[in-house]
Amino acid sequence: MRTAILLIAHGSRVEAANADLRKLAEMIAEKRPEAIVEHAYLELAEPTIPAGLETCVQRGAEEVRMLPWFLSAGSHVTRDLEADRLRFQEKHPTIDCILCPPLGLHPLMVELVLARVEESI
């Protein structure tokens, strides 16, 4: 089964902020060459989430995992991204579309936060 990873960020009017997600997608694609890796933004930048999902399909995805580049499961994740997922699923019922949890309180987050603190010293 060909899996796609769709990284999703909020989006910003500041282009450098949007560039971070594109770079992350490149880095993940290098680590997972068997996967389709795309990126999308909730608002303020392109591609949009529906466009990102369609790109995954065009590239041959049989399953899409939507990964919110968010720290918590606020309304964007629980309401907006889930609505996008459901609309996609209705349009493409043969393609599994899974909304992954946001980054949140993953155990590795402690190490990441401490590494960032150390960088500032």
Q: Residue 76 pLDDT > 80, yes or no? A: no
86 falls in which pLDDT band (50, 70, 90)? very high
Judge contact between 81 and 68, C-beta under 8 A: yes
Q: What angle do CA 52, 20, 50 make, to 5 degrees?
A: 15
Judge contact between 109 and 116, C-beta under 8 A: no
Say if pTM beats, i.e. exceeds, 0.75. Answer: yes
Q: What's the pLDDT at 73?
A: 79
Of 3, 2, 81, nearest to 40 by C-alpha is: 81
| pLDDT mean over 52-62 | 98
3-119 placed in CATH 3.10.20.90: no
Q: What's the pLDDT at 95?
A: 97
Q: Residue 78 pLDDT > 90, yes or no? A: no
